[in-house]
Chain A
Amino acid sequence: ILNVEQSPQSLHVQEGDSTNFTCSFPSSNFYALHWYRWETAKSPKALFVMTLNGDEKKKGRISATLNTKEGYSYLYIKGSQPEDSATYLCASFGNEKLTFGTGTRLTIIP
């Protein structure tokens, strides 16, 4: 993998359901993996920064895992709420810069 890739590109989830999406990144020259939440008409806000293989981080109903050897991270949202609607960006820090994926646009259906 040469770039940071996210899937799916967009997702519609019923309120109350749980969901997850994927970030793939180059495993060479890797130092950290960032997840950001980006609401419409606002600026991206950091959710997690993870560095170690096997890292798991949690903030309320949102959690993330990291596999640096195979170059992927998952973001999980449990019991989706309308306020979870946003674009979720992952970014890999390597070679002194943060390279962003194109994001997963999540829409929660009430």
Chain B
Amino acid sequence: DTAVSQTPKYLVTQMGNDKSIKCEQNLGHDTMYWYKQDSKKFLKIMFSYNNKELIINETVPNRFSPKSPDKAHLNLHINSLELGDSAVYFCASSAQRRNEQFFGPGTRLTVL
């Protein structure tokens, strides 16, 4: 059974489009995260949700909007995609905020 799953695995789209990435965890964790892996392979936190409540919004452009319908899901919606949004996006979850994090397989977004 996959603990943290993301869909889609690959996403290729045109500049200006709106797209969503879905994340689901079946670990019963309270906290979920979105990370962006930049061109230098650096993992940077974007958002953190605890029990559906936004905890961290790390100076991410307003075009990025996370949505947590329940504590097992944290989706990422991106409006008006730009070339610089091309990256690998990882979802993760943890039982509590300081605990080890379990990562999804990543979504490679390519904006043309």
Within 8 Å of chain B (Cβ to Cβ): is A109?
A: no
| B103:A89 contact, CB within 8 angstroms | no
Chain B: minimal CB distance from A106 (Å): 14
- Using A96-B56, A99-B45 as known contacts, say yes or no to A49 and B103 having CB atoms under 8 A apart: no
Residues of B near A99 (CB, < 8 A) are 45
Residues of A near B58 (CB, < 8 A) are 97
Chain B interface size, under 10 / 10 to 19 / 20 to 34 / 35 or more: 20 to 34
Taking a contact as CB atoms closer than 8 A, the residue among B43, B55, B100 that contacts A89 in the complex is B43
How far is B103's CA from A81's CA once the two chains are assembled, in angstroms? Answer: 24
Residues of B near A97 (CB, < 8 A) are 45, 48, 56, 58
| A43:B45 contact, CB within 8 angstroms | no
- Using A100-B43, A100-B44, A103-B41 as known contacts, say yes or no to A43 and B104 having CB atoms under 8 A apart: yes
7 contacts across the A-B interface (CB closer than 8 A): A44-B43, A49-B99, A93-B97, A97-B58, A100-B43, A102-B40, A102-B41
